[in-house]
């Protein structure tokens, strides 16, 4: 039997704000922080950090972890005066483990964007004979550098223009990679926030953009955000994703809820192993194939108000806390410029 989500009967609004239960705006301001998430901004617990962020489109891909996590291995970041050398050594080590004798197409070390690009012939003399090109990039900033790689591309062996075509692809990649900027939040710049410091400062969104990031407070409150733009011709893939979400209606307590200006449905259930935790999944119901303004959008994770004793003291529940945080999400200034 479908449960009723009583916590959504009253909707709460914050700008690290006050709820109907009387949270004082200034008294609890220290519990939350404004966070830039893709083209949106949202108030998250102030002790939140991201574990991993992933971005990719037809030209570039980025995978990074929070560099402030001292105990974890840094993913995608390099620092120190030897950072370009460290990066090149890692690429070469990774390459040597998979391929014996690749041919380097491009080696570029600069103060801005460094590139290592090589290609390999695969299946020589057999069906599928061709070339595979792999390109790795390092975007350098004042005190750090960030990996931003190119999409792997393949060409048939019979294609006499494969070098020329790849050179063109490489130029498009360079233009896209050079749009990564160090831009601490808050700001009003165009593009996609990869975290609160890095921005893919693009004037026009690509129709296959994918972005995912997970924030946690290291306890039991976690938010995973996922945005997937589906090209118009891939509408069936979007329908499949949306169909899965529709199937959840019969399994979990749910309620219609608008988040960040997007219509959607919120699904909730007690924690799998601890019913003091509230697990949730919110999915936008207005996603459209061919739209970069209305991509597939999902937010999922868990909340436990026990992580915030001050809120427990004033009677805030898990349901209240979840809606408070989701309701704080909004399109950031200029975030949607360049979308359609």
What pLDDT digit, counting tens, does each position of 292-330 carry? 999 999 999 999 999 999 999 999 999 999 999 999 999
275 band by pLDDT with thresholds 50, 70 and 90: confident
Q: What local confidence, expressed as pLDDT, does residue 329 receive?
A: 98
Q: What local confidence, expressed as pLDDT, does residue 72 receive?
A: 61
What does pTM read for this prediction?
0.89
pLDDT digits (tens, 9 = 90+) for 219-238: 999 999 999 999 999 999 99
CA of 45: how far to CAs of 15, 161, 164, 222, 334, in Å? Answer: 13, 53, 50, 10, 24
Q: In which order are the strands placed within the sheet that holds 210-216? A: 149-150, 60-64, 49-56, 210-216, 222-228, 296-303, 278-284, 264-270, 253-256
Q: Lowest mean pLDDT of 108-112, 198-202, 244-248, name the range.
A: 244-248
Instruction: Give the chain's domains with CATH numbers.
Output: 6-58+206-331 (3.40.1000), 77-179 (no CATH)
Residues written for the chain: 340
């Amino acid at each position: 039997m479908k449960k009723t989500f009583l916590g959504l009967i009253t909707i709460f609004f914050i700008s690290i704000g006050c709820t109907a239960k009387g949270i004082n705006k200034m008294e609890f301001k220290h519990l939350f922080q404004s966070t830039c998430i893709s083209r949106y901004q949202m108030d998250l617990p102030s002790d939140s950090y991201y574990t991993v962020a992933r971005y990719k489109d037809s030209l570039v891909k980025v995978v990074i972890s929070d560099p402030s996590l001292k105990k974890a291995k840094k993913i995608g970041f390099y620092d120190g005066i030897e950072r370009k050398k460290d990066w090149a050594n890692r690429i070469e080590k990774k390459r040597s483990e998979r391929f014996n004798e690749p041919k380097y197409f491009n080696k570029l070390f600069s103060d801005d964007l460094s590139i290592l690009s090589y290609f390999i012939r695969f299946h020589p003399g057999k069906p599928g004979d061709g070339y595979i090109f792999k390109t790795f990039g390092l975007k350098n900033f004042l005190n750090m550098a960030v990996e931003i790689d190119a999409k792997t591309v393949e060409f048939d062996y019979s294609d006499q223009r494969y070098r020329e075509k790849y050179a063109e692809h490489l130029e498009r990649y360079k233009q896209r990679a050079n749009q990564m900027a160090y831009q601490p939040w808050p700001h009003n710049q165009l593009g996609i926030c990869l975290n609160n410091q890095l921005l893919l400062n693009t004037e026009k969104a690509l129709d296959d953009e994918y972005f995912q990031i997970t924030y946690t407070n290291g306890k039991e409150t976690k938010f995973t955000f996922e945005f997937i733009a589906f090209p118009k011709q891939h509408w069936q893939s979007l329908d499949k994703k949306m169909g899965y979400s529709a199937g959840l209606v019969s399994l979990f307590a749910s309620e219609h809820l608008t988040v960040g200006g997007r219509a959607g449905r919120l699904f909730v259930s007690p924690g799998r192993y601890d019913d003091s935790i509230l697990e949730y999944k919110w999915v936008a119901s207005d996603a459209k194939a061919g739209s970069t303004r209305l991509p597939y959008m999902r937010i999922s994770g868990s909340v436990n108000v026990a992580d915030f004793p001050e809120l427990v003291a004033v009677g805030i529940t898990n349901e209240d806390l979840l809606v408070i945080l989701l309701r704080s999400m909004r399109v950031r200034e200029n975030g949607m410029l360049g979308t359609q």
